[in-house]
Amino acid sequence: MSASAQPGAPAIGIDVGGTKIAGALVAPDGQIIHRERVETPAEATEQIVAAVADLVARLRERSDAPVEGIGLAVAAMLDPAAGHIWFAPNLPWRDIDLGAMVAERVGEPVVIENDANAAAWGEYRHGAGVDHDDMVLFTVGTGVGGGCIVDDRLLHGAFGIGGELGHVILDPDGPRCGCGNKGCLEVFASGSALVRAARDLVTSASPLGEALRERCGGDPDRLEGADVTELAQGGDLASTELLEELGTRLGHGIASVCAVLDPRIVVVGGGVSAAGELLLGPARQAFARHLIGRGHRPTPDLVLARLGNDAGVVGAAALAREHRAAGRGEG
C-beta closer to a copy of itself: residue 1 or 82: 82
C-beta closer to a copy of itself: residue 102 or 136: 136
Using CB under 8 A as the binding rule, whether residue 90 contacts a copy of itself is answered as: no
User: At 71, is the secondary structure helix, strand, or coil?
Assistant: strand
Contact between 253 and 183 (Cβ < 8 Å) = no
Provide CB contacts within 8 A for 77, sequence distance 6+.
Answer: 85, 86, 87, 88, 114, 159, 160, 161
Provide the 10 A C-beta neighbour count for residue 215: 20
Residues numbered 118-157 forming contacts with a copy of itself, rule: CB under 8 A: 132-134, 148, 150-151, 153, 155-157
- The nearest distance, CB 137 to a copy of itself, in angstroms, is 13
- The nearest distance, CB 221 to a copy of itself, in angstroms, is 12
C-beta closer to a copy of itself: residue 197 or 268: 197
C-beta closer to a copy of itself: residue 32 or 208: 208
**Which residues, listed in sequence order, are joined to residue 176 by a DSSP beta bridge?**
182
Residues numbered 250-279 forming contacts with a copy of itself, rule: CB under 8 A: 252, 255-257, 259-264
The secondary structure of 187-236 as a DSSP string is HHHSHHHHHHHHHHHHHSS-GGGHHHHHHTTT-GGG--HHHHHHHHHTT-
Residues numbered 272-331 forming contacts with a copy of itself, rule: CB under 8 A: 286, 289-298, 300
Residue 283's Cβ-side half-sphere holds a number of Cα atoms within 13 Å equal to: 29
Q: Residue 103: left if φ>0, alpha if ψ -120 to 50, beta else—which one? A: alpha
Q: Go through 146-174 and write b for each residue having 16 or more CB atoms within 10 A of its CB, e for each that does not.
A: bbbbbeeebbbeeebebbbbbbbebeeee
Taking CB under 8 A as the criterion, the residue among 18, 82, 203, 218 binding a copy of itself is 203
Taking CB under 8 A as the criterion, the residue among 8, 107, 207, 235 binding a copy of itself is 207
User: At 42, is the secondary structure helix, strand, or coil?
Assistant: coil
How many residues lie near a copy of itself (CB under 8 A)?
71
Candidate segments 36-44, 50-58, 168-176, 318-326, binder of a copy of itself by CB under 8 A? 168-176
Q: Residue 300: left if φ>0, alpha if ψ -120 to 50, beta else—which one? A: beta
Taking CB under 8 A as the criterion, the residue among 38, 50, 208, 274 binding a copy of itself is 208
User: At 302, is the secondary structure helix, strand, or coil?
Assistant: strand
Give the torsion through C-alpha atoms of 303, 307, 313, 314, to 10 deg: -90
- The nearest distance, CB 76 to a copy of itself, in angstroms, is 11
- The nearest distance, CB 182 to a copy of itself, in angstroms, is 7
x-marked contacts with a copy of itself along 49-88 as a string, rule CB under 8 A? ----------------------------x--------xx-
Residues numbered 15-44 forming contacts with a copy of itself, rule: CB under 8 A: none
Candidate segments 111-119, 178-186, 312-320, 323-331, binder of a copy of itself by CB under 8 A? 178-186
